[in-house]
Every structure is written in structure tokens, then in C-alpha cells.
Amino acid sequence: MKALSGHDTASSDLEKFGTTDKLMLARNDSDLVQDITTDCSVVASLCAITQYASDHGGQASMLEAVMSPYDAAKGHPLVSENGKYIFRMQFNGTFRKVTIDDRLPASKSRALFVVDRQNPYLLWPALLEKAYLKLHGGYDFPGSNSGTDLWVLTGWIPEQVFIQSDETDLGLVWTRSKGAFERGHVMITLGTGRLTSEEETLLGLAGQHDYAVLKLEVDSNGVRRMLVKNPWCDGLVWRGHGLGSVSETTRSPTTGTFWIDFEDVVQYYESLYLNWDPSLFNYRQDHHLNWVLPKKATSHSLASNPQYAMVPEEDGTVWILLNRHIQDAELDIIRRKRQSVSTALKDADNAGNAKQGAAPTFQSGTTMPNDVGFITIYVFSVDGKRVQLPDRPRWIKRAPLIDSPQTLVCFEARRAVPYTIVVAQSGLPLPSYSFTLSFFSSASLVIGSALEMLAHQYEVLGEWSRATAGGSVASPDFVLNPQYALIIPKPTPLSLLLDAEADDVPVRVDLVWARGQRVASLAVRDLVVSSGEYQRGCALATVTPRTPLSSAASSPTAPHMSGSVSSGNGSGSAGFGSGVVDAGTYTVVVSTFERAQLTRYTLRVGSAVPIELRTIPAEDSGKLRTSLEPLMLTFDRTSRSGHGECLGDGDECELRAYAVLNARLNTRVSLIVQAVERRAHNVYTATAAAAAAASTIALRVSIERMTPGSSRRIGDVIATTGDGEFLDMTVAGLRTGDSTLGRASPQQGRDLTMPCFRVVMEMRKGRRLPNVGIRVDILSSDRVEAQPWVEF
């Protein structure tokens, strides 16, 4: 490090470098270049600042507000007598005072790392660079982009335009940029994306590198073009179809400057950075926030995101800038990423792929790697209330999802309309962050925290495990899915938000008319409301009124309230004219599309009144399971060697069989009846295919009590499927309710006569079904044994 002014070397340094005017005032057109550090974005920003100063009133127009000491009368900075310089920079949510000394690093080839070739003794660019780099940990700069750098250096609002995006209106971008540039309202820089060595040599462009835009014009032939400067000291210049290097066409001594057609900019550059003069707006508000990022199981929704309500007092333009504060841990991540990229590129160079005539890509440091994650802003028109998903309801405006520290959304706001502003992220690696939301507007804004649409919110953490990941309703194991009893004491709007931890698992949530009992299957008539088709990561089902809940008429019990049911993609059976769910006990089912999709989840229930949410125990919870040998449906048309009286393809038939149970009195039992498929090694599995094959069979299964010695073929029915009716076999199977294996009636005195019990299966309308059978599982409170099936 070398002191260039002040301290005990002030006299010799001033004598060497010249007067204060020479050190701080550019006599010739500026030609700033970078030498060694990985701060092309910073030097490109300095080039944009000096060009702006040259076009719009000289250095005083920019430097007076950011640098001290400064001679306002002469319009340039002063050399500090004590070697101390103070800069005013916009950093991490506010303007900050950055103090540095005058000791500056020097390279072997030049006096300073950033130098003005037309004004070789000019000192203030290197001092400004040092102050900026001090905020980012020193000269080991991890990289940035020129839009961010100009925001820090000048406080001008950064906007990043992805010019290769199909959503970008390039004509509007040119018209808007050119007009504002000529009026002095914007500074413009450019950034390239990744380029191969061959592309860099062919095009004369450096990959992942920032450039300053010095002029915009339309020539006599109507061609739109830009005058662009590459800040690298020995950098490439454009070799494409435009006018080429300025030094080649006009013999300008300016380093690395060239004209390029706007169409070529669109094709070969990735980003257009626009930094706007904040004085264009009459009002500004800054809101600072700390955000502990949500756990993975709630990260697919917006329920835990910072949200603000904004109400404009007049119609007008509103710009909202989200600024992520820089942390040391984040800089470490970027440096590690840069080091790994640098090593890979050096290895490639050593293998004979070194680039010719350009600075290595790993030195350009243009953009922060994707390891730092992405941020964006959503704008909703939802009465200033909190939202849970970005597409329910649909946002009206969204900022680019971007890995830069800033992202900007611009829109025309209407007077007295309450908007909801949501901060969102994807892949941020650290557990918590600080942000600043800056609101720039032409009219005054009233801004506060967004309130919940429904006052009462309940969260349940759960998991689809091997025992509970039952799959969709098309799966025989649907009944295994986690289920909850929802107890609602008064009519209320309702929301059910299901958020899975895994990114790629489609999920669904259903509210079912089931009185808090476990659900084995679903039909449309059973649904109160549903999230509809399975959605990856997150699903939402709501019953909400059309009238905003914040209005005077928004009481859940107001008889005149209009309402609607919102159910995923439009599916769902209920139509609530009042937009409320009636008091009662319901069943909530959360499911994945496929069986055995394992992940954790969060279920979030919102309501206008206090509710109760209870886990429903598994179907066999606390019970013993006894499986009877499946009764195979291999009927024979001509003989009775198989089960059944006749049978074959499409013919009427009938089958009746029973299995005797050995059980103690007062044992509680219930039956599960399912179609199963015989696979290798006589393993029987309940499958949708087996259920489909057995769907032509009408079935009834009962538990009967028999009196010993009785000649009756039919006993007393204790429990039966389908209220005694014959039912078609479904994927979910058939079930009986709980019943007790007890005596027929209270006995007087001592009665030693013990009843016996049996399971009876009756089938109608069967057909030949190879390898398909009907299995009965007995769930019991005590041990039960079952004898083999017997036809009768």
C-alpha cells in the first residue's frame, strides 16, 4: 500500500503527482480502466458516473453529494490534508458514512488499480473504489453487478432488465431508456452472460463482464446503437457487424470503446442495468425488516413471508425496491464459489484452452453466483390482506426473480385501493436476512403490516411416512393418509393450506363430510371443499366470502353476504352462497398423488372463529389385525370344483361362504374387505387393478352370531357392509363399523351356553378373475382366530 497524499509524505507526493487540481480535476475526457481487481462492475459504474458528470454539469453534479473534502466553489474534490476521506454511500438500507485513508494499492504496471488514462494523476476514482470495496470486505472483492454498484455509489434506483427474455418489450425498453438517458434521468450499463473462449475471441466480448453505456443514438439509416466501454485495461472490443471500435473508426484514444447495434446488444448481452434518479419521485419511504426464513415444510407458500399493506392517496406511479442486506457469511459463499470457478478455468487454461487477448472470465466478477439465492416482490390487490399462494389470487405485478441484492417492481397504483406487497425468496442459503423495502411514489402512500384474511390460524406439522403415505383416492391405501377431525363451533370462512417439504411431490387437501371419522374413499358428494388437482409442493382449499372481510358487512353470519368456494383449480363439490362452512365436525384428508411419497408437511387452517383440530388415529390403531385367506374368484363354467354355483364370463352366479371365528365374548371387531392380486410366492396385495377387475362383483360381508345346535343357516347379523345392501367393489374396499361379539340378550341367572361367530361373504354377478380374490381383514380389541372358508 502506498500513501499518495497527506501524512508525512504529502509534500513529495504532491510534487510528484502535481497540484490538487491535477489530482482531483479531470482536464481531458475521462478514460477509466480497471487493472487487477475483480471489480469490472465498479469501474463500469465509475465510467457511467464520469460520463453522466460530463454530459450533465461536470463532476459537481455527482461528487459533491458523496465525497468530502470537496470544493463547492471550484466544483471538484480536494486533497485531504490529513489523508482522510469520507464518502456517503447507500448500503444495507441507509446512507452510510464510509471513512478511508489515502493509502492505495498499486500494481506493477500502473500507479493505481483503477486509473484514468487521459488524466493519469486523477485520484478520486481510486479513492471512491476503495471506499466501495471497504463495504464489501476489501480488495478481495467477490463480485457484483453495475446496477447494484451504482445504487451503492450514488443512491440511484437500480432496475435490471433481462433483455433476452421473451417477456421483455425491446421497443419499449429502447424508447424508455433513450429518452431518460438524454434527459439525464438514468445511467445505463450492460452485463454479458457466460461465453466460451471461442465466442469471446470471435465477438470481442468478455463473458460475465460489465460495460458502461456512454451514448445512445439512432443513425441516419434508422439503426439504433449504443456507444459502449469495456473497463478492462487491455480488454476486447466488439468485432461484430456494428461500426466496430471507436478507436478504429474515429481514432478516439478512449480505451475499449465501441459502437454496437441495439439488436446485437439484445443478442449477445444478458442484462441491461438502468439506474434511475430518485429525485424523479416526490415521496420515499424505507421499511426495514428482519426475516427468519421459514422451515422447508412451509417454504412453498407465502404464509410466512413478510407482507405489507399499501394504500395510495392519489393515482400515480409506484416503484418498490427490495434490497437484501449483505452479510459476511454471504460474501464467504460467493468467494468460495468464485475460487472453485477460478480453479476450473485455470485447469482448462493449463489444458490448452487459454483465452487469447482478454482478461480471464474468473477475474471479471460481474455477477454473484446463484449460490446466494433469489429474491422477488409480488403485488396483489386483495384489500391489503395477507395472501398464502402467489397464484391464489393471481398477482397483478411481480418483480424479476433475481440473484442480485436488489429487485424492482413498477406499476400504476389507483387511489384508495389497498394493495398487498409480499417479499419472496428462493434458495437463500442463510437462516435469516435483513431487507429494506423502499417505496418511491408520485403521491403519498399509507403503508403498514398486512393483516390475516382470517383472524385465527392453526398449524399442524406432520409427515407422510411408509405407514401413512397412502397415495391418491385411486390407491387402495388412501385410508392410511394423515387425517384430522375439524370441529367448527360457528359458521365461518375457512382456508386449508397444505405445504410439503419436498419440491417435487404433488399434494392435495380435502375437507370431507365424515363427522370426524377416518375416510377410506372419496366421492364428489362427500367433499365440502377441495384443493382440486394435485399440485407440486403446495395446495390450498378455501371457502371465503366475496365481500372483503374487513368491510362492515363481512361478519361470517351476515345473512346478506355473498360468497364463493375457491377449490384449487375449480374442482370441488360445495357451493356456499354465504361463503362460510356451517358448524359441525368434518374430516380433513391430506394426500400425495403416489403411494410411498415420503416427506414432511405443514397443514395451516385459517378461520374467523376459534376451531379445534384433532388427529384421527389410524384405522388399525390400538387393534390387532387378523387376515383371512383370500377367497379367490376362479369360477368354473361347467363344474363346482371352484367356489360358486356356476359361472363364467358374464353369466349370473352366486357364492356364499363363511369362516368361523374363535374369539372371546365382548371383543370389539370390525371388517375391512378388499380386492387383492396374487403375485409371486403367493403374496396377496390390494391394488387398484385388482379392484377394477373385481368391480363387476356385487358383494356383501357380515358378522353373524350363531346358536350352537341351531338348524338355521343364517344367524343374527351383528355388523354388515353397506347397511346390508350388495355393493360393487371399490378401490378403497368395503368396511363395517365396530361391533361387539356378545350374547344375543341379557341372560337371567347363569347361562353356560356360548354363542359362536362367523364371517359370511356373499357375491353376485361374478366372472372369471384369474389371480384375483377377496380378502377380509379383522380388526379386533383382543386376539381372534379364523378358520378356513367353507361354502354353503
Q: Catalytic amino acids?
A: 40, 209, 230
Report d(CA 218, CA 416) in Å as an integer.
Answer: 42
47: left (phi over 0), alpha (psi -120 to 50) or beta: alpha
Report d(CA 365, CA 375) in Å as an integer.
Answer: 20
- What is the number of other CB atoms lying within 10 angstroms of the CB of residue 792? 7
Kindly give, in sequence order, each residue whose CB lies less than 8 Å from that of residue 152, ignoring residues fewer than 6 positions away: 89, 90, 91, 132, 135
Length of the chain: 792
Three-state secondary structure string covering 203-238: HCCCCCCEEEEEEEEECCCCCEEEEEECCECCCCCC
Strand order, beta sheet including 307-312 = 397-398, 374-380, 419-426, 307-312, 445-449
What is the longest distance spanned by two Cα atoms in the chain? 128
Report d(CA 6, CA 85) in Å as an integer.
Answer: 11
Kindly give, in sequence order, each residue whose CB lies less than 8 Å from that of residue 466, ignoring residues fewer than 6 positions away: 596, 598
Q: In angstroms, what CA-CA distances link 642 with 136, 390, 780?
A: 83, 60, 30
Report d(CA 205, CA 190) in Å as an integer.
Answer: 12
Report d(CA 37, CA 35) in Å as an integer.
Answer: 6
DSSP 559: T
Cα 617–Cα 621–Cα 623 angle in degrees, nearest 5: 150
Contact 464, 585 (CB under 8 A): no
- What is the number of other CB atoms lying within 10 angstroms of the CB of residue 31? 22
Report d(CA 681, CA 678) in Å as an integer.
Answer: 8
E strand spans, 262-405: 271-276, 283-292, 307-312, 316-324, 374-380, 397-398
Contact 784, 778 (CB under 8 A): yes
Bond preceding residue 231 cis, omega within 30 of 0: no
State the number of CA atoms in the 13 A half-sphere of 103 facing the CB. Answer: 7
Nearest CA-CA partner of 417 in 282, 318, 561:
318
C-alpha cell at 164: 433476452
